[in-house]
Amino acid sequence: MTYAHPTAPPLPEPRGPLSAAVTDALRAARPAAWPTLPADPYGDDLQLALYVLYELHYQGFDGVPDEREWDPELLALRAGLEDRFLGALRAALPTDASDTAGRALDELQLEPVGEDGGGLSFFLRDRGTLGQFREYAALRSLYHLKEADPHAWVIPRLRGRAKAAMVAVEFDEFGAGRADEIHAELFADLMRDLGLDTTYGHYLDSAPAEALATVNLMSLLGLHRALRGALVGHFAAVEVTSSPASRRLAQALRRMGAGPAAVRFYTEHVEADAVHEQVVRHEVVAGLLEREPWLDADVVFGIHATAHLEDRLTTRLLTAWETDRPALRPPR
């Protein structure tokens, strides 16, 4: 049966011929042919088109029937965009054959030397304004309002220790049985505290390509069984780096005078993710590689790809903020 959900977000404004063709196709005005793929795999047009195609597997869009999720033409186009995106990531990342998942995770645990580590959480803790934090939260809503969902896709592809541990961590992410404790709901509470709109997908038009790419990566890895090792690497990278960064972001919000709901989201992650880090490393990653040791290089790829895209987003935000410019795209 066909449904068109009025509570789903509207289709976003296109950012080029490709994203325009995708949104036109979803409005049922199918293009005669897809345009040539953009030259820039990290650019706004390609990343928005990919984001829209992935969103069909989440909440969908207002007026777009459910059955379009498995439209063969859209899936074929998505496969081409994924190849372009994955190819760019593989070309940009180090190719040290001796690198291992254990070594890559060790590197993630090294905190920068000195008080000012040069990263996003350091900037917001020490010098950021409440307005800049609101921009950061608006962009991160594209991830945090679906925080644990794409990682859950890997569960049926795991076995034994890895599966049991993954389910345990996801159980916490989904509120341990309490709807009001789901981490996505806690982030919505943070947004309300900061005076932001909590409507799902509200800030999509405001998000630059660098923010879209971070979300597209986890959707890409989650939807492909062949990339299960890379998805585990992505999950490990998120959990290993979350606790210290969350501590700094909680400190930033206290300094800025934000309310308790905003602060709570990050203090919750300081404690929870410190535990999750150990479970993910010693049970999920180790359990996966115990059964499928040939996936070690894929886990490494997932870790490095996550860091690479987060670094690109950090550069985009700090470049704007250091020159007193907004990080959000201008409203349509």
Q: What are phi and psi of 41, to 5 degrees?
A: -70, -20
Q: Band of the pLDDT at 243, cuts 50, 70, 90?
A: confident
Find all residues with CB under 8 Å of 114, minimum gap 6, and list them: none
Domain count, the chain: 2
**In this model, does residue 303 exceed pLDDT 80?**
yes
Find all residues with CB under 8 Å of 131, minimum gap 6, and list them: none
Burial class of residue 152 in the structure, from the number of CB atoms within 10 Å of its CB (0-12 exposed, 13-18 middle, 19+ buried)? middle
Domain shared by 208 and 62, yes or no: no
Quote the tokens at residue 108. 């993630």
Q: Band of the pLDDT at 113, cuts 50, 70, 90?
A: very low
Q: Is 84 helix (H, G, I), strand (E, B) or coil?
A: helix
Domain shared by 47 and 172, yes or no: no
The boundaries of the domain holding residue 142 are 101-322
Domain shared by 185 and 274, yes or no: yes
Distance separating alpha carbons of residues 188 and 186, to the nearest angstrom: 5
DSSP string, 141-182: HHHHTTTTHHHHTTGGG--HHHHHHHHHHHHHHTTTT-GGG-
Average pLDDT over residues 155-176: 94
- Angle formed by the axes of helices 44-55 and 17-26, nearest 10°: 20
Domain shared by 252 and 184, yes or no: yes
What is each CA distance from 220 to 139, 148, 154, 305, in whole angstroms?
Answer: 19, 14, 12, 12
On average, the pLDDT of the chain sits at: 92
> pLDDT digits over 183-234, tens only?
999 999 999 999 999 999 999 999 999 999 999 999 999 999 999 999 999 9
Question: Would 2 be classed as within a structural domain?
Answer: no
Domain end (from 62, 92, 122): 92
Domain shared by 160 and 266, yes or no: yes
Domain shared by 230 and 127, yes or no: yes
Domain end (from 73, 92, 111): 92
Domain shared by 172 and 69, yes or no: no
Average pLDDT over residues 43-55: 98
Domain shared by 144 and 293, yes or no: yes
Distance separating alpha carbons of residues 160 and 162, to the nearest angstrom: 6
Question: Would 329 be classed as within a structural domain?
Answer: no
Find all residues with CB under 8 Å of 295, minimum gap 6, and list them: 228, 229, 232, 288, 289
Domain shared by 158 and 242, yes or no: yes
Sign of CA dihedral 123, 124, 127, 131: positive
Q: Band of the pLDDT at 124, cuts 50, 70, 90?
A: very high
Domain shared by 75 and 113, yes or no: no
Residue 284's pLDDT is 96
Q: What are phi and psi of 178, to 5 degrees?
A: -115, 120
Domain end (from 92, 109, 144): 92
Question: Would 150 be classed as within a structural domain?
Answer: yes
Quote the tokens at residue 20. 């325009």
Quote the tokens at residue 49. 């088109």
Q: What's this model's pTM, rounded to 2 decimal places?
A: 0.94
